[in-house]
């Protein structure tokens, strides 16, 4: 493994975990964050630790195929979900999973958020689907997330939280913030009669813009 690349990924995961903490988006349980090192390995936050007391080199290096890891700290129990997404989405190099309040609120109602905000459509690719309810940290949860993320950069997970992914971890973190904001706007708009969806032709425009901007295949 390229040691420099691994170190850079650990540093990026650590920094993003702290950014997430300072953003106030997390309360209670943390969620987890990862960055792809290469086709074989990812760096992911360790299980059940206070990130502020950790250092970048304690971000766990995990084999994407076998889930074996190096060092004394266990990776997040949701490492399997991250690994399966990396296997299925070659375009993805960073993943953020949160239990943020507004996303979780909509996820408990198991409601797909229609395309209602421009930045939602641009950054996440359209509606925010809900991955089926499954036990955390299982292959079933990974499969449900992959299905809900098809053609998208973000999804809700039924009764659990949200997950976002993108070409870089920095972009995946932005996507996680857009999910939380969209969920809040969606809930608020329901109190004043419900949101009006963005017309399909404009969604197509935003999708084209998104694909060209990020160089993805159409
Ligand atoms: Zn979780």
CATH at residue 100: 3.40.225.10
The span from the CA of 178 to the CA of 154, in Å, is 9
Contact 182, 128 (CB under 8 A): yes
Residues 6+ apart with CB under 8 A from 113: 106, 120, 127, 128, 156, 182, 183, 186
Ligand 1 centroid from CA 100, angstroms: 10
The span from the CA of 107 to the CA of 143, in Å, is 17
Per-residue pLDDT at 218: 42
pLDDT tens digit at each of 218 positions of the chain: 789 999 999 999 999 998 888 887 766 557 899 999 999 999 999 987 777 778 999 999 999 999 999 888 999 999 999 999 999 999 999 999 999 999 999 999 999 999 999 999 999 999 999 999 999 999 999 999 999 999 999 999 999 999 999 999 999 999 999 999 999 999 999 999 999 999 989 888 887 776 666 554 44
Ligand 1 centroid from CA 98, angstroms: 6
Residue of 78, 84, 112, 197 with catalytic role = 78
Ligand 1 centroid from CA 131, angstroms: 12
Ligand 1 centroid from CA 32, angstroms: 7
Ligand 1 centroid from CA 202, angstroms: 33
Query: What are the Cα distances from residue 94, in Å, to 3, 19, 135, 154, 194?
Result: 18, 15, 23, 12, 33
| Structural domain total, the chain | 1
**Residues 108, 47, 141, 17, CA torsion sign:** positive
Q: What is the DSSP letter of 159?
A: T
Per-residue pLDDT at 28: 54
Ligand 1 centroid from CA 160, angstroms: 6
The span from the CA of 201 to the CA of 105, in Å, is 30
pTM summary value: 0.93
Active site residue 78: yes
Ligand 1 centroid from CA 108, angstroms: 13
Per-residue pLDDT at 27: 60
Ligand 1 centroid from CA 216, angstroms: 28
The domain in which residue 141 lies consists of: 3-214
């Amino acid at each position: 493994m390229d040691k420099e690349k691994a170190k850079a990924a650990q540093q990026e995961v650590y920094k993003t975990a702290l950014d997430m903490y300072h953003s106030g988006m997390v309360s209670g349980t943390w969620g987890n964050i990862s960055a792809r090192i290469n086709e074989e390995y990812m760096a992911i936050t360790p299980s059940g630790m206070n990130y502020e007391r950790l250092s970048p080199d304690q971000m766990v290096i995990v084999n994407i195929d076998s889930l074996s890891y190096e060092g004394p700290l266990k990776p997040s129990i949701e490492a399997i979900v991250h690994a399966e997404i990396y296997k299925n989405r070659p375009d993805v190099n960073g993943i953020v999973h949160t239990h943020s309040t507004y996303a979780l609120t909509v996820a408990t109602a198991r409601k797909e958020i229609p395309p209602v905000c421009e930045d939602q459509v641009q950054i996440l690719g359209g509606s925010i689907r809900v991955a089926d309810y499954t036990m955390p940290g299982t292959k079933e949860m990974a499969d449900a997330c992959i299905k809900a993320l098809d053609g998208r950069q973000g999804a809700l997970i039924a009764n659990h939280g949200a997950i976002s992914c993108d070409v870089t971890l920095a972009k995946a973190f932005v996507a996680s913030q857009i999910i939380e904001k969209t969920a809040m706007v969606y809930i608020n708009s329901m109190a004043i009669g419900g949101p009006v969806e963005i017309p399909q032709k404009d969604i197509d425009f935003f999708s084209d813009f998104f694909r060209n901007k990020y160089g993805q295949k159409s």
